[in-house]
Amino acid sequence: MEQKQPQDLQKTLEKAGMWRASHLHAGYQSGQKQGTPTGFKILDEQLSGSGWPAEGITELLYEHAGIGEIRLLAPALANLSQQQAGWILWISPPYIPYAPALTAAGIDLTSILVINPKNQTDSLWAMEQALASTSCCAVLAWPKNINDKQVRRLQVASKSGESLGILFRPMESVRHASPAELRIELTGNHYSPLVEHSSLDIKIVKRRGGWPTEKFTIDFDDKLHQITPDFSEMAFRNPNNPASDLVFIDPQSSEDRHGFPLR
Partner 1 sequence: MVSRSDNVAPQTLWLCVHLPMLPVEVFTRGLQTEDIRRPIVVLAQRKVRFLNLAAHALGIDIGSSLDTALTLSSQVVSFERNEQKEFSTLSHLAQWAYQFTPSVTIRTPDCLLLDISGCLKLFGGLETLKTKIQQGLTKQGYESILTTNMTPMAALCLATSNRKPQVERDKPELDGNKSRAFYVASSLEHLPVNCLQVDKKIIESLQQMGIADCKALFALPKSGLNRRFGIYFVDYLQRLLGEKSDPQKFINPDPKFINDVTFLTDVNNTASLRFPINRLISELAEFLTVRQLATNHLSWTLSHRNHSDRNFNILLANPVNEHDMFKSLTLLKLEQIKDVKEIDNLSLAVNNLFPAVNLSGDLFHGTSFQQKDSVKGQQQADMLLNKLRTRLGPGSCYGLSAANDHRPEKAWKPVRLDQKDYWQPNRVGMASTPEPARPMMLLSQPKLLPATCEFSSAGKISDKASVKPPFQPSSFHSSSRGSKHQLTLLKGPERIDFGWWDEEDLNKVITRDYYVATIDNQGSLLWIFQYSNDKRWYLHGIFS
> Is 63 an interacting residue with respect to partner 1 (CB under 8 A)?
yes
Give the contact letters, 229-258, x = binds to partner 1 (CB under 8 A), - = no.
Answer: xxxxxx------------xx----------
Contact region with partner 1 (CB under 8 A), list: 31-39, 42-50, 149-157, 186-194: 186-194
- 229 versus 259: smaller Cβ distance to partner 1: 229
Per-residue DSSP letter, 237 = H
Strand-pair partners of 182: 58
Q: What is the 3-state secondary structure (H, E, C) of 110-131?
A: HHEEEECCCCHHHHHHHHHHHH
- 99 versus 177: smaller Cβ distance to partner 1: 99
Of 86, 143, 165, 210, the residue at the interface with partner 1 (CB under 8 A) is 86
Contact, 165 vs 178, CB < 8 A?
A: no
Least distance to partner 1, CB of residue 234, Å: 6
Residues between 207 and 226 that touch partner 1 (CB under 8 A): 222-226
Counting beta carbons within 10 angstroms of the beta carbon of residue 84, is it exposed (0 to 12), middle (13 to 18) or buried (19 or more)?
A: middle
Least distance to partner 1, CB of residue 233, Å: 6
> Is 31 an interacting residue with respect to partner 1 (CB under 8 A)?
no
Question: Rounded to 10 degrees, what is the CA torsion of 178, 131, 201, 96?
Answer: -120
Residues between 95 and 124 that touch partner 1 (CB under 8 A): 95-105, 108-110, 112-118, 122
> Is 172 an interacting residue with respect to partner 1 (CB under 8 A)?
no
Distance set, CA 204 to CA 34, 37, 178, 186 (Å): 18, 16, 13, 9
- 79 versus 189: smaller Cβ distance to partner 1: 189
Q: CA 175 to CA 254: how far, in whole Å? A: 56
> Is 85 an interacting residue with respect to partner 1 (CB under 8 A)?
yes
Per-residue DSSP letter, 142 = -
> Is 169 an interacting residue with respect to partner 1 (CB under 8 A)?
no
Q: CA 141 to CA 177: how far, in whole Å? A: 19
